[in-house]
Amino acid sequence: MHATAPPPARTVLSPEVAEALSAGRPVVALESTLLAHGLPRPDNRAAADDVEAAVRTGGAVPATIAVLDGVPHVGLTAEEVDRVCADPDLAKLGVRDLPVAAALGLSGATTVSSTALLAAAAGIGVFATGGLGGVHRQAVDTFDESADLTALSRTSLVVVCAGVKSILDVPATLERLESLSVTVVGYRTTTFPGFYVADSGSTLDWSVADPAQAAAVFAARRALAPGAVIIANPLPVDEQLDPALHDRVIAGALAAAEQAGVRGKDVTPFVLDHLHRASEGATLVVNVRLVLRNAELAGQIAAALAEDVR
């Protein structure tokens, strides 16, 4: 008779997050892949504190999410953030990877898809990130499409972002989001942002004027059917990356990835590292700036949602 493996440990909530959720106070989920794979060391550690502080400025409790030794953690201690930011071998975990990490006791940083899943399961309704994954260029040949899209189609929460990552096929990504019935609205704009730049060249049908309207859209969506509401929050034009520099470094980064034979989930960290070096750090500055803006707005939306419940 074969021994039965013990079930994986349940999700651990930090004391602050657990207390906030129990009391009905606003909480905002934050991904850890940004820290482990999106920003260079040691800048990532300072950014982690700044992003959590921005959520607090918006009026909510931050809940950075990661998997440590097979256990999902919603809300990290300072020591746990240190671990996520310092480990160069930390795995990148999407939804499909969570069972493997849980069963084998592995650690990893959560992507948009897995962060959304774990946040919603914990009862968190708002999530702030930088840019979503989506349909990659040449997807017609490679079928390379981020799991973020399907995950958001079946997960009920608000996602505040600066659009999708610039290396992607933006029009194709928006088409897929429409096909998946994911609600996408601009924040004070009908222009879909291009991550590092304010305008991706694509437009949106809908916009909201303030956090209360964003919260109302999500409340209406949640009452109708499962699925996310994406709030696309563009950088102000005077804070964006220079568009000419943007186009030049993106083209160079994609060419370098192709030449190096980088594929799948390794493309994004490879390209982000190339962009940082090719732009002499300019993309890093803009990346952190947009994440901070998204985190603060997410805090405001979470606070508005909490007010509606009371």
100-153 pLDDT per residue, tens? 999 999 999 999 999 999 999 999 999 999 999 878 666 555 556 688 999 999
Higher per-residue pLDDT: 172 or 3? 172
Overall pTM > 0.85: yes
Active site residues: 31, 165
Asked if 33 contacts 92 with a C-beta cutoff of 8 angstroms, the reply is yes
> Among 85, 94, 24, 3, which Cα is nearest to 51's?
85
Give the ranges where the chain is alpha helix by DSSP (H). 15-23, 33, 43-58, 78-86, 98-104, 112-122, 139-142, 147-153, 170-179, 211-224, 243-260, 267-278, 282-309
Neighbour tally for 268: CB within 10 Å = 23
Residue 3 pLDDT: 44
Residue 284 pLDDT: 87
Average pLDDT over all residues of the chain: 90
211, two tokens: 């956090």
Confidence bin at 166 (pLDDT 50/70/90)? confident
Q: What are the phi and psi torsion angles at 291 (to 5°)?
A: -65, -40
Distance separating alpha carbons of residues 262 and 257, to the nearest angstrom: 5
Summarised one tens digit per residue, pLDDT across range 204-249 is 999 999 999 999 999 999 999 999 999 999 999 999 988 888 888 8
Give the ranges where 123-242 is alpha helix by DSSP (H). 139-142, 147-153, 170-179, 211-224
Helix axes 43-58, 282-309, angle to 10 degrees: 30
Confidence bin at 4 (pLDDT 50/70/90)? very low
**Least trusted range by pLDDT, from 58-67, 69-78, 254-263:** 254-263
Q: How many Å is the maximal CA-CA distance in the chain?
A: 67
Asked if 215 contacts 300 with a C-beta cutoff of 8 angstroms, the reply is no
What's the average model confidence in pLDDT over 289-310?
92
Summarised one tens digit per residue, pLDDT across range 178-187 is 999 999 999 9
Summarised one tens digit per residue, pLDDT across range 22-42 is 999 999 999 999 999 888 889
Confidence bin at 306 (pLDDT 50/70/90)? very high
Residue-level length of the chain: 310
3-class SS of residue 70: coil
Domains of the chain, first to last: 12-309 (3.40.1790.10)
What's the average model confidence in pLDDT over 42-59?
96
Residue 309 pLDDT: 62
